[in-house]
Amino acid sequence: DIQMTQSPSSMSASLGDRVTITCRASQDIGNYLSWFQQKPGKSPRRMIYGATNLAAGVPSRFSGSRSGSDYSLTISSLESEDMAIYYCLQSIQYPPTFGSGTKLEIK
């Protein structure tokens, strides 16, 4: 199975900060990487797919990038509504595997 190593596990940032979360894949996954946001009591919401594509309705302050086997989710200017847990997911092969999650808190 492909392992997705996500970091950090938690972080605290101030409103307006630039925030970056990273996932590293244990094997080549091409661009088959998605990012999800999950707020308490809610279902995961897809934010980014294909490593860099913004999902419909997602604010433009969110972006995705890739450098080799490292994939990043960046929030350019943190807003209070961005407080959530973020997960990456590889879907190039079965089983689909998730990162362990990053809990993002607002200072």
Partner 1 sequence: EVQLVESGGGLVQPGRSLKLSCVASGFTFNNYWMTWIRQAPGKGLEWVASITNTGGSTYYPDSVKGRFTISRDNAKSTLYLQMNSLRSEDTATYYCTRDGGWFAYWGQGTLVTVSS
The residues binding partner 1 (CB under 8 A) are 32, 34, 36, 43-46, 49-50, 55, 87, 89, 91, 94-101
Q: In the complex, what is the shortest distance from the CB of residue 18 to partner 1, in angstroms, rounded to a whole number?
A: 25
DSSP three-state, residue 107: coil
Cβ proximity to partner 1, 20 vs 91, nearer residue: 91
Between CA 55 and CA 5 the distance in angstroms is 23
Between CA 54 and CA 35 the distance in angstroms is 10
Q: In the complex, what is the shortest distance from the CB of residue 43 to partner 1, in angstroms, rounded to a whole number?
A: 4
| Beta carbons of 89 and 1 less than 8 angstroms apart | no
| Beta carbons of 37 and 84 less than 8 angstroms apart | yes
Q: In the complex, what is the shortest distance from the CB of residue 77 to partner 1, in angstroms, rounded to a whole number?
A: 26
Cβ proximity to partner 1, 66 vs 76, nearer residue: 66
